Structure 1
Amino acid sequence: MARRETTLQAAQGRLRVLIDSEFQPGDKLPNERDLAEQLEVSRATVREVLGQLAAEGVVTRTWGIGTFVHDTAARVPVSIGDVVALRDRITASGHRPALHDASVTRTGCPADCAEVLGLPPGAPVWQVDRLFAVDEVAAAWIRDHLPLSVDGLDLDPSGLVSIDLDLFEFLANATGMPIRRAEIELSAVLAEGEAVDRLGVPVGHPLVSATQVGYSPQGAALFHGHITVRTDVLTLKITRGG
């Protein structure tokens, strides 16, 4: 057993040196056979070492796609247990948030959003598209849909193209009804389509997708959003309280 552990430790050390010297974050590593030849160990040893490095966050392994070098920058922990702006969550963790891209347009309401907001499918709504970065690295792509008006008050979310205005702040000021509760449903996904371009990741890169609904104190849904997060940049912490 001790000899086996020594072999694994030595192989892991050599692979770490190889990654640090010849690869950049996001690069794809050679396949297991080629790595086994370079490290002069068995493919089984390579497979076990890669599993250990994946558990430590050094590499990302995607079945049928390959193994990629993780970004070596520290991931930012973000709590989603409270109704707090993403911008402020990132700042509180000691990192610098930014908007790499943002737009506000009128569009037809998607079916899932229409059901939540109590609108007919295809009814006109505001679409707010924002790409958040952490220390200049794309981290979270958020697409929110808002009604054109709330209780007879017209909404103008054009200010949300600035990092200085958060969605929660905007709705509180525009409607007089602060977001008191947000429901978030999470799922693990593999990057494809628009998410690949927006977040700058390869096809098949593991992501977390979330659907978020924000409610007024009276229980009315004020927005419906989709969030796609790079967990190699942001880590999500869920807290629950009474």
Structure 2
Amino acid sequence: MPGSSSRRGGRGAPGVLPRIGNGSLAEQTTRTLLEAIMERRFPGDRLPNEPDLAEQLGVSRTTIRTALQTLERLGVVSRAPARGTQVRPHIGRESILLHRLIGFRGMLEAGHDEVHLEERMDVLDHGTEPAVQALGLDEGTAMVVHDKTIVADGRPAVHLLQEVPLEYVAEDVRRKLVAGRRFDIPDSIFEFSHLWPGREIDHSVVEIVPSVVPDDSAFPLALAPGTPHIVLCETHYTSGNEPVAYSREIVDDEMIRFRLVRSR
């Protein structure tokens, strides 16, 4: 099922934030603040105080506090009683800790004029061997496989293969997928997991594997055989530590270069 979208990330007005509805979650608030930070919309790289942020976004101070604590944990901001919340200006979209919030497409949109997604979601009789092993499945377990490539300025930048057992997916979605009917594919596997009752993704373990392009015409990126690149192998877990999905992401690291932020 093909799909595409394109957008050039733009800067909003300094200090002006879009309001968030009353029913929004702390994660949505975190995303909104993070996007404003990445667009350098806070004068002097300093955030307003919690009451002002709560008023601007239309959420509670508790929600704001939770979002700021998340951003501090991710290394995006530093907080101190005397000086408030200060943005770390050298932190960008390439921080691997921000991947879940920003995603590959958000990373690429910051530096490319046209970014679009080519994707399909299928039901297969079995998963790949790494997925079967990581999730502890029988080899004949039917899998939902989301195959997508993110293309930036005409060049494939990232190829993702995401797998989840069909039986984990909500029954109404499962029927659509099996019948090949139209289905609005979520932007990320984390959003898709909201449709897995009782098995929503809580956290992921990522293995970063340095690799070289094989001499194989089926390789999904436009790289010559022998070219170094990065492969991310992710096992996704519930809050109860149950492995529920597996992703393999092939990255052209000339287009996306990850950074890891460490703080004390």
TM-score by length of 2: 0.52
Q: 2:38 is matched with which residue?
A: none
Q: Is the CA contact 2:160–2:249 (under 8 Å) kept in the aligned structure 1? A: yes
Q: Structure 1's 165 and 121: CA in aligned 2 closer, same or farther, altered over 3 A? A: same
Of 182, 185, 198 in structure 1, the residue corresponding to residue 207 of structure 2 is 185
**Residue pairs, 1:126-205, within 5 angstroms:** 126-150=144-168, 156=174, 165-175=187-197, 177-193=199-215, 197-205=219-227
Q: 1:90 is matched with which residue?
A: 107
Structure 1 moving runs of 4+ over 6 Å: 159-163
Greater displacement, 94-103 / 114-123? 94-103
Residues 6-59 of structure 1: CA distance to partner in whole angstroms, max 9, x if unpaired?
Answer: xxxxxxxxxxxxxxxxxxxxxxxxxxxxxxxxxxxxxxxxxxxxxxxxxxxxxx
Task: After TM superposition, give the deviation of residue 212 of structure 1 in Å.
Answer: 0.6
Task: After TM superposition, give the deviation of residue 107 of structure 1 in Å.
Answer: 3.3
Q: 1:112 is matched with which residue?
A: 130
Question: Is 1:235 aligned to residue 253 of structure 2?
Answer: no
User: What is the alpha-carbon distance in structure 1 between the residues aligned to residue 150 and residue 182 of structure 2?
Assistant: 12
RCO comparison, higher one (Cα < 8 Å, 6+): 1
Question: Is 1:213 aligned to residue 230 of structure 2?
Answer: no
Greater strand share, 1 or 2? 1
2:236 aligned partner, one-letter code = G
**Residue pairs, 1:65-84, within 5 angstroms:** 78-82=94-98, 83-84=100-101
Identity %: 17
2:149 aligned partner, one-letter code = L
2:248 aligned partner, one-letter code = H
Q: Structure 1's 208 and 89: CA in aligned 2 closer, same or farther, altered over 3 A? A: same
Q: Is the CA contact 1:78–1:93 (under 8 Å) kept in the aligned structure 2? A: no
SS for the counterpart of 1:200 is: coil
1:112 aligned partner, one-letter code = P
Q: Structure 1's 152 and 164: CA in aligned 2 closer, same or farther, altered over 3 A? A: closer
Q: Is the CA contact 1:98–1:163 (under 8 Å) kept in the aligned structure 2? A: no
User: What is the alpha-carbon distance in structure 1 between the residues aligned to residue 186 and residue 169 of structure 2?
Assistant: 26
Q: 2:143 is matched with which residue?
A: 125
Give unmatched runs, 5+ long, in structure 1. 1-75
Q: 1:54 is matched with which residue?
A: none
User: What is the alpha-carbon distance in structure 2 between the residues aligned to residue 219 and residue 86 of structure 1?
Assistant: 23
Greater C-alpha Rg:
1
User: What is the alpha-carbon distance in structure 2 between the residues aligned to residue 115 and residue 239 of structure 1?
Assistant: 31
Q: Structure 1's 153 and 213: CA in aligned 2 closer, same or farther, altered over 3 A? A: farther
User: What is the alpha-carbon distance in structure 1 between the residues aligned to residue 105 and residue 195 of structure 2?
Assistant: 18
Residues 62-100 of structure 1: CA distance to partner in whole angstroms, max 9, x if unpaired?
Answer: xxxxxxxxxxxxxx9533214335255326735453213
Q: Structure 1's 152 and 236: CA in aligned 2 closer, same or farther, altered over 3 A? A: same
User: What is the alpha-carbon distance in structure 1 between the residues aligned to residue 254 and residue 118 of structure 2?
Assistant: 18
Task: After TM superposition, give the deviation of residue 196 of structure 1 in Å.
Answer: 6.1
Q: Structure 1's 220 and 200: CA in aligned 2 closer, same or farther, altered over 3 A? A: same
